[in-house]
Amino acid sequence: MTRTRKRRMMIVLLILTGMSVATAVAITAMQSNVMFFVSPTNVAEQELAPDRKFRLGGLVADGTVVQSGDSLDVQFDVTDGNHNVTVVYTGILPDLFREGQGVIAHGYLRNGRFEAYEVLARHDETYMPPEVQRALEEAGHPAAGGESKPAYGADA
Amino acid sequence: MIPELNYAPFVWSSYGVFAAVCAWQFLAPLIRRRRLTRQIREQLEEERAAAAVGRPAPRS
Amino acid sequence: MIWSTLKLWFHKLGSPPIFSVFARRVAPWLWAAFFACTLYGVYLALYVAPPDYQQSDSARILYIHVPAAWQAMLAYVIMAVLAAIALIWRIRTAEIMAMAAAPIGAALTLICLVTGSLWGKPMWGTWWEWDARLTSMLVLLFIYVGIMALYAAYDDPRKGARVASVLVIAGLVNLPIIHFSVEWWTTLHQGQTIRIFGESKMDPSMIPPLIWTTLGTKFLFGAALLDRARNLLLAQDQHKAWVRRELAPALDDRKQPA
Locate the DSSP E strands across chain A: 54-60, 66-67, 73-79, 84-90, 102-110, 113-122
Q: In whole angstroms, give the CA distance from residue C224 to residue C201.
A: 32
Out of C118, C121, C235, the one facing B36 most closely (by C-beta) is C235
Dihedral sign (CA C82, C180, C137, C44): positive
Out of A57, A129, A145, the one facing C186 most closely (by C-beta) is A57
Q: Do C124 and A96 touch (CB under 8 A)?
A: yes
Q: Do A20 and C173 touch (CB under 8 A)?
A: yes
Please report which residue ranges of A35-155 form alpha helices under DSSP H: 40-45, 130-138
Nearest CA in chain C to A7: C88
Best of C188, C194, C195, C206 to substitute, by most chain A Cβ atoms within 10 angstroms, is: C188
Task: Please say whether the beta carbons of C79 and C161 come within 8 A.
Answer: no
Could you read off the pLDDT of A50-88 as tens digits, one per residue? 678 899 999 999 989 998 878 889 999 999 988 999 999
Q: For residues A61-89, b (16+ Cβ closer than 10 Å) or e, as one string?
A: beeeeeeeeeeeebebbbbbeebbbebbb
Enter the DSSP assignment of A127: B
What per-residue confidence (pLDDT) applies to C6?
85
pTM reported for the whole predicted model: 0.91
Q: In whole angstroms, give the CA distance from residue C120 to residue C117.
A: 5
The CATH topology of domain A40-138 is: OB fold (Dihydrolipoamide Acetyltransferase, E2P) (2.40.50)
Nearest CA in chain B to C107: B21
- pLDDT confidence tier of residue A136, bands split at 50, 70 and 90: confident
- pLDDT confidence tier of residue A154, bands split at 50, 70 and 90: very low
Q: Do B6 and C57 touch (CB under 8 A)?
A: yes
Q: In whole angstroms, give the CA distance from residue C175 to residue C169.
A: 11
Q: Residue ranges of the domains in chain A?
A: 1-34, 40-138
- Residue C154, exposed/middle/buried by CB under 10 A (0-12, 13-18, 19+)? middle
Residues 13-42 of A with CB under 8 A from C: 15-16, 19-20, 23, 27, 31, 34-39
The maximal CA–CA distance of chain A, rounded, in angstroms, is 79
CB of C3 within 8 Å of a chain A CB? The answer is no
CA distance B59 to chain C (A): 8
- In order along its 258 residues, chain C shows pLDDT tens digits of 788 888 888 888 888 999 999 999 999 999 999 999 999 999 999 999 999 999 999 999 999 999 999 999 999 999 999 999 999 999 999 999 999 999 999 999 999 999 999 999 999 999 999 999 999 999 999 999 999 999 999 999 999 999 999 999 999 999 999 999 999 988 999 988 888 777 788 999 999 999 999 999 999 999 999 999 999 999 999 999 999 999 888 877 655 554
Task: Please say whether the beta carbons of C132 and C187 come within 8 A.
Answer: yes
Residues 43-102 of A with CB under 8 A from C: 57, 93-96
Q: Do A125 and C52 touch (CB under 8 A)?
A: no
